[in-house]
Amino acid sequence: MPAAPLPILVLLPGLDGTGIMFDPFVQALEGFETRVVRYPIGLTSYADCEGFARSFLPVDRPFLLLGESFSGPVAIALAAKRPAGLLGLVLCVTFARNPRPALAWTAPLLRILPPRQLPQALLRNLLFGPWVTESLSALARTMLPQVPSATLKARLLAVMAVDHTDLLRQVQVPILALRASQDRLVPRAATDWVQAHLSSLDITTLQGPHWLLQTRPEACAQAIRSFLDRISPPEA
């Protein structure tokens, strides 16, 4: 008998919201049909992003939901509503609440700072680290001009205020956390916090920077396939 088709993989993007940076990962996903959610630049609150992303969820096919970085709370909120067909949730280099609560005091300063682009060299260091390549740098250069700095700032403010810890208990499907060994933005403590409130959390740590899907796409794809194998019932 032919193998059953893989579930659709719905991808919720990082802070930029464009979905452009998913390209290397999508290319590594053999057999998966993907739906990439791309937030309009005017959507900066978690409630608005959740409402927008809900329309991308399949209604007639099983699916996995992946939230990367900024979109972790969006994915948690969607999964907590238990949509039909959802098989599992993947939280990639992300969090349920502000991943750096000690910096919450900087929110008023962030509100009054003029919107300016961060230097690309700093972004490469924070997001790629030693895994940077020219092709990835070129992809980031394509993405950055498409997102106003004011949008990025507003979404950072949303990150500082979010706390979806209580929603974790409402998620009824298995959850995989993909954690990067050298993540300079989201610390290990963010995943530890989720695990403290969800003992069944399945954690896979991969060597790489915050942009894990971009620098280690094949390894991430294999981790998701292995997760799917663990949560799928054996064939009769």
Question: What CATH code is carried by the domain that includes residue 14?
Answer: 3.40.50.1820
Q: What is the pLDDT of residues 52-66, one digit of tens each?
A: 999 999 999 999 999
Q: How far apart are CA 76 and CA 170, in angstroms?
A: 9
93, part of any domain: yes
Stated length of the chain:
236
Q: Would you say residue 3 lies in a domain? A: no
pLDDT of 195 reads: 96
Q: Has residue 187 been placed in a domain?
A: yes
Q: Is the pLDDT of residue 83 over 90?
A: yes
Does residue 198 lie in a domain region?
A: yes
Tell me the average pLDDT of the chain.
90
Judge whether 1 lies within some domain.
no
Q: Could you give the percent of the chain with pLDDT greater than 70?
A: 88
Taking the C-alpha atoms of residue 42 and residue 49, their distance in angstroms, rounded to an integer, is: 10
Q: Assess if residue 139 is contained within a domain.
A: yes
Compute the average pLDDT of residues 155-164.
94
Number of domains in the chain: 1
Contact, 216 vs 208, CB < 8 A?
yes
The range of the structural domain enclosing residue 71 comes to 8-231
Q: What is the pLDDT of residue 5?
A: 80
Q: What is the pLDDT of residues 170-228, one digit of tens each?
A: 999 999 999 999 999 999 999 999 999 998 999 999 999 999 999 999 999 999 999 99
Of 186, 150, 171, residue with least CA distance to 70: 186
